[in-house]
Chains A and B, each alone.
Chain A
Amino acid sequence: MGCIVLGCIILSIALAGLSPYDPEKSDITSRYQPPSVVHPMGTDALGRDLMTRVLFCGRISLTVGLSVMVITLVIGVPVGAIAGYFGGRVDNILMRITDAALSLPSLLVLILLSAILREVDAPFLKSNPVLTIASVIGLLAWMFTARLVRASYLAIREMDYVTATRALGASNLRIIARHIFPNAIGPVIVESTLEVAYAILEESGLSYLGFGIQPPTPSWGNLLSNAQEYLVKYPWLAIFPGIMIFLSVISINYIGDGLRDAFDPYKVLKKMGEV
């Protein structure tokens, strides 16, 4: 079911280009139109069609979500794998770093970092706002992936087949990447899927506060950032972007839940009637 909803969202976002309206072009004659047949979600302060804008934002928000997932995997998997596989001192050092990162009050640091990056005058950051915000969120979220991967590697490295592989002369890197990895990745996939939903929520919250993605680039969060002022007169501006966030997050969560069941051997066996 999650897949169906998400499929619809992705499809509509992909088809946003077919909309008769330009998401950026303003039309002063039709400012603040309430939802109607012509503008299903109404229009905003500059007369832009809200539905077209909301759908275009979907691209941004989903890109943020997926980028955060990639970043947490790129940092978290190697850290967790190395710590779990080698153990001992390496494990100790890596896990102390992870613990330290986990001791940061994450929401506060998130706000601080994005407030700072907003002011940094680097052309790269200015032209890649999506990547910037995704790295900030990712930098504060990789620890969970790392811990999960470490736990899997700790358990699997003791298994006989790993010892056998080592006896056959496989290098550490090969064991980590080719032999343990496929068996350890299940819970990580579940976690990363949920990470996408979490990142979309975080990004929309930050953008709502004005610290996330900045206005020329629209995102679901910053579409909502002026909504509170206009709540009395133009309530549709507040309703629709939020519904889109809600629908995407809930469908991703459903997929994550489905994957969790799929990767849970006990549940799979139960379904097949083996247990």
Chain B
Amino acid sequence: MGHYVVRRLLQAIPLMFIISIVLFALVNLAPGGPLAGRSPSRRMNPEQVAILKRQFGLDKPVAVRYLYWLVGNDWVKIDTNGDGIKDSYGQGKGIIRGDFGMSYRTRTPVIDSLRNALKNTAYLMSVTLLVVAVIAIPVGVISAVKQYSFFDIVVTTLSFMGQAIPEFWLGLILLLIFYVWLKNPVTGESLLPAGGMYTLGSEFSIVDWIKHLILPVTMGVVGWVTWYSRFLRSSMLDVIHQDYVRTARAKGLKLNKVYFKHALRNALLPLVTVFALDLPYIFAGSLYVEIIFSWPGMGRLYYQAAIDRDYPMLMAILTIGTLVVILSNLLADLVYARLDPRIHYD
């Protein structure tokens, strides 16, 4: 097992390397570039653009830029004030030494923005996933146990509908209902806030935070709940007709215990693998939620960077995204082997 993990990780290194070259080339060779759309309000003259270009190192060929991005530029003299003379050694340590570089837009280290955004996204996603688990597990189990009952039919229909709703549109409709239409009867304010993580400038209050969570979480939850409850329903259906479940029932165990303890444990096995494979989508899927509800997380950061062509920021998020995909694939395989003793890797 240990051997297998090491081999998979070693295989991931050249893969990461190739993908990073492709992505870097894509990002850097694209027309437009970070300086093209720069502040039309205060138009810059060509000399200023040239200075910025030299400062950002955009005058160098792409291969050189990739090298600097990968291993840093603290071993060569670069032009820091953009006057065309190489004056001092670079500051960048390169991504392999954990340096994501400086954002072109804010001119602060990318890692600082990332750390904050990652925290906010993780907060949003963990609440969302918790709600998904709390709803999807009982719903999936009950609709499998009572197959073709009224409850099951309603759930199946709803989940079919939930899969077809465009996520961003659901967000708009939630805003329409809970922000525009429904008002708090006492104060006359909107029932729920339109965005953000908390009311700016107010003191910390748990009620305020929860209010800001409801809509974004609901928007994220719908798609995942429908997906997982459908999945759990079919994997429960496979399990509950097995002999050991019948035995447990024949022994006179309470039905609740049979289904939620004996059957559920095995039905969750495939679900865990699927969940690991879904991690990147969960990570990326918060993008629409964050944009609609102005949640200061990774998705919004990426969206802004894509508009600004903030190369270091784009590359940082893309690299992390790729890493998440590769690691969650590995995780899925490992969890599967760990939970199912019949599977062996060597």
Would you call B317 and A197 a contact (CB within 8 A)?
no
Q: Is the pair B168, A231 in contact by a Cβ cutoff of 8 Å?
A: no
Q: Contacts A235-B180, A246-B164, A246-B165: A105 and B318 contacting too (C-beta < 8 A)?
A: yes
Q: Across the interface, name the chain B residue whose C-beta is closest to A96.
A: B15
Q: Is the CB of A246 within 8 A of B287?
A: no
Q: Does A197 lie within 8 Å of B164, measured CB to CB? A: yes
Interface residues of A in 107-137 (CB under 8 A from B): 107-109, 111-113, 115-116, 119-121
Please give me the residue from chain A that is nearest to B175 by CB atom. A231
Interface size on A, residues (CB 8 A): 41
In the complex, A249 has a CB within 8 A of chain B:
yes
Chain B, residues 325-344, CB within 8 Å of chain A (1/0): the string is 11001000000000000000
Q: Are B284 and A105 in contact (CB under 8 A)?
A: yes
A246 to B306, CA, bound (A): 28
User: Does A145 have its Cβ within 8 Å of any Cβ on chain B?
Assistant: no
Scan A74-109; emit 1 where CB is below 8 A from any B CB, else 0: 000000000000000000000000011011111111
Interface positions, chain A 217-240, Cβ under 8 Å from B, are: 224, 227-228, 231-232, 235, 238-239
Chain A, interface SS category: helix
Q: With A235-B180, A242-B169, A249-B164 known to touch, is A107 a contact of B285 (CB < 8 Å)?
A: yes
Q: A112 near B285 (CB under 8 angstroms)?
A: no
B211 CB to nearest chain A CB (Å): 18
Instruction: Tally chain B residues at the interface, Cβ within 8 Å.
Output: 47
How many pairs of A and B residues are in contact by the CB < 8 Å rule?
120
Considering the complex, give the chain A residue whose CB is closest to the CB of B172.
A238
B163: chain A residues at CB < 8 Å are 249-250, 253
Q: How many angstroms from the CA of A215 to the CA of B36 in the assembled complex?
A: 21
Residues in B with CB closer than 8 Å to A250 are 160-161, 163-164
Q: Are B164 and A242 in contact (CB under 8 A)?
A: no
- Nearest residue in A to B285 (C-beta to C-beta)? A107
Q: Is the CB of B166 within 8 A of A109?
A: no
A120 to B322, CA, bound (A): 25
Which B284-328 residues have C-beta < 8 A from chain A? 284-285, 287-288, 291-292, 302-303, 306-307, 314, 317-318, 321-322, 324-326
A231 proximity list for chain B (CB < 8 A): 172, 175-176, 179-180
Known A100-B18, A204-B166, A242-B169; contact A112-B306, beta-carbon cutoff 8 A: yes
Contact B30 A116 (CB under 8 A): yes
- Bound form: Cα–Cα A107–B322 in Å: 11
Residue A205 is within 8 A (CB to CB) of chain B in the complex: yes
Knowing A231-B175, A235-B180, A249-B164, say if A109 contacts B169 (CB, 8 Å): no
Contacting residues, chain B, for A102 (C-beta < 8 A):
325
Q: Are B306 and A232 in touch, CB under 8 angstroms?
A: no
Contact B307 A116 (CB under 8 A): no
A73 an interface residue at 8 Å Cβ cutoff? no
Contact B322 A104 (CB under 8 A): yes
Closest Cβ–Cβ distance, residue B164 to chain A (whole Å)? 4
A111 and B306 in contact, given A105-B321, A119-B30 (Cβ under 8 angstroms): yes
Any chain A CB within 8 A of the CB of B188? no
The CA-CA distance from A116 to B160 in the complex, in Å, is: 34
B26 CB-CB contact with A under 8 Å? yes
Asked if B167 and A228 sit within 8 Å, CB to CB, the answer is: no
CB–CB B324/A105 < 8 A: yes
Known: A112-B306, A115-B307. A209 touches B166 (CB 8 A): no
Q: List 10 A-B contacts (CB under 8 A).
A: A100-B15, A106-B284, A108-B318, A115-B30, A115-B306, A119-B30, A208-B288, A238-B173, A250-B160, A253-B163
Q: Could you tell me which A residues sit within 8 Å of B by CB distance?
A: 99-100, 102-109, 111-113, 115-116, 119-121, 197, 201, 204-205, 208-209, 211, 224, 227-228, 231-232, 235, 238-239, 241-242, 245-246, 249-250, 253-254
